[in-house]
Amino acid sequence: MASFTKEMLISDIILRVTKGKPSDDLELEPTQVAFWIDQILPALIKATLDKKLDAKLGIDPDYFKIESCIKPKIKISNCRDCQDNIYIQLECSPINLIRDLGVARVVTEDGVQLDKMSIHEIDNLRNLRFSKPSLTNIKYHRIKNNLYIYGVTEDTMHLVEFNAIYVPSQTIYDLNDDDSVFIGDEILPLLAEELETIARRQLYQSGIDEENNGKQDLNIQ
Amino acid sequence: MSTSTALVPASRVVALAMSVLEEADTIDRAFIHEWVFEGLKQLGPNISWYDEAVLYPVEYSFKKPDNMSSAIDFALYDSQDHELRFVLRGRGSRIHQSDNQLINDGEYAPGLGAPIDLSEDSHYYNIGTSAGAQAVAYAYIKFFKFPVDETGQLLIPEEDTMPLVYFIRHMWYLRKDDKMGIAQSNNKWIAARNEARGAHRTPSMLVGKEIARTWNSMIQKQSFKIF
């Protein structure tokens, strides 16, 4: 997995589209390139990892982030009749992959694995004798970066902490220029090509297939 | 060969099943615990499911153990630890009058060998309210139960592990609605289930010897030395 700073990545794109001669009055802001990266990168990672999962190859370990000793929190309902929600909050939002495999593993501090639930199947599971969530059979479902825990109650939540391994989604826009960006080796060339195309389209108002030959007719000055 | 009494946690069966279900993930695993239970019910009881308990009467009724599947044997005792005879009359309460006046009056008492009426319903064993029934102090029951650990999670007889893996595989194809997989896995599961059921019925060497001894005692022996 390639690792470089945000500034290096954006500068490379600018150098590519200006043929290595960026001028002072260049109409291309680094923040805008960062915004494009945030638009393209999650889709590229998702497409690449979904393809790997489909081919039963698994996810490269480089993509994973590990978080340890996450204490559960409680979201108390304002309504007296509604149930309070117990959840753990991850630092980053996991990437959305098929069957939510972006979250690879959630375990208690004792190593007991938590089963993932599809949000549509929670009520079915609750009606099953041995699959229903309990303190010895804890389950979760995910909404954004919150994992909602079932089987732990307000009284027992202090007894347990969790460890999670997941593929985080990266937001380049908010990073500092010297912050590291991790991009998979197979994704980097695809990302650069996409960014280059968008940047050229913006700078040179091209990208339209005027000759109807299946190619973008770049009119580079 | 008869089934051993060794029990393993259901999580071992689940892990073994997950190792052969390449595409399954923990979303499926959430259901697999229940499939283990369903499969175990279909394999039926074996000697690992056995348990016994002492029951005490409240208002002529004994509450059945919560984890009981079905009764194997039942015995009534008085406060002097003498066994009392009983007759299982069936289900629910009596709808015919008892025509044995000696028993009704308590003259022919359980201590003298008079049988006590016993019936059962979904949750209780009930003894008759005749005069002699008051002599009952407690009951022993042997019963089949679903083996569970101290936290209520299923325990699995070790030799039922592979049949259950086949069942889980079959259920997983059902969940996916994979018709080819359903057709292929069903035969394997049925074969494994039948083999396991056969093994459950096979007596152990100890029981086998006892059967042989009983039968042997019924065969007339000829003492050639005396003859």
ipTM for the assembly: 0.74
Mark yes or no for CB contact B153/A99 under 8 Å.
no
Question: Is A209 within the bounds of a domain?
Answer: no
Provide the pLDDT confidence category of residue A221 given band limits of 50, 70 and 90: very low
Comparing C-alpha atoms, which of A25, A146, A147 is closest to residue A138? A147
**How far is Cα of residue A113 from the mean position of the Cα atoms in its chain?**
22
Range of A59-63, B151-155, B205-209, B219-223 with top mean pLDDT: A59-63
User: How close B26 comes to chain A (CA, Å)?
Assistant: 5
Across B23-27, B57-61, B185-189, B191-195, least confident range: B23-27
Where in chain B are the domains?
A: 49-145
Question: Is A213 within the bounds of a domain?
Answer: no
Q: Which residues of B touch A116 (CB under 8 A)?
A: 25-27, 30
Q: Do A96 and A155 lie in a common domain?
A: yes
Q: What is the pLDDT of residues A12-43, one digit of tens each?
A: 988 888 888 887 778 788 899 999 999 999 89
According to the model, what pLDDT value does residue A143 have?
Answer: 92
Mark yes or no for CB contact B153/A113 under 8 Å.
no
According to the model, what pLDDT value does residue A214 have?
Answer: 59
Q: Is the pTM of this model over 0.90?
A: no
CB-nearest partner of A136 from B25, B31, B151: B151
Range of A67-81, B96-110, B201-215 with top mean pLDDT: A67-81
A217 or A167: which leads in pLDDT: A167
Question: Is A210 within the bounds of a domain?
Answer: no
User: How close B169 comes to chain A (CA, Å)?
Assistant: 17
Q: What is the pLDDT of residues A104-158, one digit of tens each?
A: 999 999 998 899 998 888 889 989 988 899 888 899 999 999 999 999 988 889 9
Q: Count Cβ atoms below 10 Å from residue A60 Cβ, excluding itself.
A: 15
Mark yes or no for CB contact A128/B31 under 8 Å.
yes
Q: What is the pLDDT of residues A170-204, one digit of tens each?
A: 888 888 888 888 888 888 899 989 998 888 888 87
* Per-residue b or e along B213-222, where b marks 16 or more CB atoms closer than 10 Å to that residue's CB: eeeeeeeeee
Q: Do A125 and A49 lie in a common domain?
A: no
Is the pLDDT reported for residue B219 higher than 80? no
- Residue of chain B whose Cα is closest to the Cα of A55: B23
Distance CA B199, CA B161 (A): 13
What's the domain range around A118?
65-166
CB-nearest partner of A56 from B22, B29, B34: B22
According to the model, what pLDDT value does residue B47 have?
Answer: 74
Q: Do A48 and A74 lie in a common domain?
A: no
Q: Which residues of B touch A99 (CB under 8 A)?
A: 25, 27
A112 or B128: which leads in pLDDT: A112
Q: Do A82 and A123 lie in a common domain?
A: yes
B221 or B77: which leads in pLDDT: B77
Provide the pLDDT confidence category of residue A209 given band limits of 50, 70 and 90: low
Residue A85: CB partners within 8 Å, gap ≥ 6?
A74, A75, A77, A148
Structural domain tally of chain A?
Answer: 2
- Residue of chain B whose Cα is closest to the Cα of A113: B26
Q: Which residues of B touch A59 (CB under 8 A)?
A: none
Distance CA B103, CA A204 (A): 110
According to the model, what pLDDT value does residue A166 have?
Answer: 95
Question: Is A211 within the bounds of a domain?
Answer: no
Is the pLDDT reported for residue A211 higher than 70? no
Mark yes or no for CB contact A56/B34 under 8 Å.
no
Please give the mean pLDDT across all residues of chain B.
Answer: 86
According to the model, what pLDDT value does residue A35 have?
Answer: 93
| Tokens coding B55 | 């029951």
According to the model, what pLDDT value does residue A212 have?
Answer: 64
The owner of tokens 């069942």 is: B167
According to the model, what pLDDT value does residue A62 have?
Answer: 85
User: How close B123 comes to chain A (CA, Å)?
Assistant: 19
Q: Which residues of A touch B31 (CB under 8 A)?
A: 121, 125, 128, 131
According to the model, what pLDDT value does residue B30 have?
Answer: 87
Q: Do A69 and A162 lie in a common domain?
A: yes
Q: Do A69 and A161 lie in a common domain?
A: yes
| Tokens coding B226 | 């005396």
Q: Give the residues across from B118 on adjacent strands.
A: B88, B127
Q: What is the pLDDT of residues B112-125, one digit of tens each?
A: 888 888 899 889 99
Provide the pLDDT confidence category of residue B2 given band limits of 50, 70 and 90: low
Question: Is A24 within the bounds of a domain?
Answer: yes
Question: Is A11 within the bounds of a domain?
Answer: yes
CB A74, CB A85: distance < 8 Å: yes
Q: Are strands A139-143 and A115-116 parallel, antiparallel or unpaired?
A: parallel
Is the pLDDT reported for residue B107 higher than 90? no
Q: Which residues of B touch A129 (CB under 8 A)?
A: 34, 37
Instruction: Give every strand in the sheet of A65-70, ordered side by side.
Output: A65-70, A162-166, A103-108
- CA distances to A76, A85, A140, B58 from A148, rounded to whole Å, are 13, 7, 5, 45
Distance CA A31, CA A6 (A): 10
Angle at B190 between CA B185 and CA B195, to 5 degrees: 130
Is the pLDDT reported for residue A207 higher than 80? no
Residue A150: CB partners within 8 Å, gap ≥ 6?
A117, A122, A133, A138, A139, A140, A141
User: How close B138 comes to chain A (CA, Å)?
Assistant: 32
Question: Is A214 within the bounds of a domain?
Answer: no
CB-nearest partner of B34 from A56, A131, A136: A131
Q: Do A133 and A195 lie in a common domain?
A: no
- Residue of chain A whose Cα is closest to the Cα of B149: A136
Residue B28: CB partners within 8 Å, gap ≥ 6?
B21, B172, B175
Exposure of A185 by Cβ count < 10 A (0-12 exposed, 13-18 middle, 19+ buried)? Answer: exposed
- Residue of chain B whose Cα is closest to the Cα of A128: B34
Q: Which residues of A touch B27 (CB under 8 A)?
A: 99-100, 115-118, 121
- CA distances to A9, A172, B151, B193, B222 from A40, rounded to whole Å, are 14, 11, 48, 52, 96
